[in-house]
Amino acid sequence: MKPFIHLNSAMTVDGKIATEKSSMKISGKNDAIRVHQLRKKYDGIMVGINTVIVDNPKLTIHKIPSKIEENPVRIIIDSNARTPLNSKVLNNNAKTIIVVSNNAPQDKIEQLEKHCEIIKTGDKRVDLKDAMEKLYNKGIKSILLEGGSTLNFSMFQEQLIDKLTICIGSEILGGKKSKTLVDGRGFKKDNCVNLKLESINKIDEDVLLEYSVVY
């Protein structure tokens, strides 16, 4: 068994979610409110280690009225236990689980264990399927994925994502090294991820697309 996994992201009209070296504000105020309303509905919120290092996010509900106990469990996919000890995801505002591989340095794991729970799976990289099963068994039945392009690709590759919402902001970024929704080596033409469009809505000057994922 695995949690229901909903990938939510924002991208520019030309499909970029971030510059080469940092994230960027793409969608408007009302979409930010929508995202925090979504966070309130899920057991967990998940990102990869690159997002933690580059953006240092809180991964809490803070743009709408909320009680601290309503914050979802923060889940970090971090194969080599690189999460900095001063990261906001290690504060006391919500529980945090960091998923590491069996290759992660033991001294770093021991330091992180003072601040959060650790799950080990996979040899050199986190085994995502096994990680999702372990999270499910811990009571996390639904996850809002706010991943970067690398984690998004891996999650699609393992056929773990059930739902996708994309807010298309009214801007164009360009740049060969800008990050897209999904990077990685890509899928073969006859093996790409298929989506079923469920709804289209306008939010301020942005467009929100909602899809179910078909494997």
Task: Assign 139 to helix, strand or coil.
Answer: coil
Predicted confidence (pLDDT) per residue in 22-74, tens digit: 677 788 889 999 999 999 999 999 999 999 999 999 999 999 999 999 999 99
- CA–CA gap between residue 95 and residue 209 (Å, rounded): 30
- CA–CA gap between residue 23 and residue 55 (Å, rounded): 7
pLDDT at 19 over 80: no
Cβ-Cβ contacts under 8 Å for 16 (sequence gap 6 or more): 173, 174, 175, 178, 179, 180
Asked if residue 58 lies in contact with residue 80, where contact means CB atoms within 8 angstroms, the answer is no
Residue 138's domain spans which residues? Answer: 4-214
Predicted confidence (pLDDT) per residue in 148-184, tens digit: 999 999 999 999 999 999 999 888 888 777 888 888 6
Task: Assign 66 to helix, strand or coil.
Answer: coil
User: In 3D, which of 25, 7, 30, 17 has the Cα closest to residue 205?
Assistant: 30
Asked if residue 1 lies in contact with residue 157, where contact means CB atoms within 8 angstroms, the answer is no
The tally of domains found in the chain comes to 1
Q: Whole-number mean pLDDT of the chain?
A: 93
Percent pLDDT > 90 in the chain is 80
Mean pLDDT check: name the lowest of 117-126, 147-156, 185-194.
185-194
Cβ neighbour number for residue 110 with a 10 Å cutoff: 11
DSSP letter (8 states) at residue 23: B
What global pTM score does this model have? 0.94
Which residues is 117 bridged to in the sheet?
97
Task: Tell me the CATH number at 34.
Answer: 3.40.430.10
- CA–CA gap between residue 191 and residue 172 (Å, rounded): 29
| CA atoms within 13 Å, Cβ hemisphere of 5 | 27
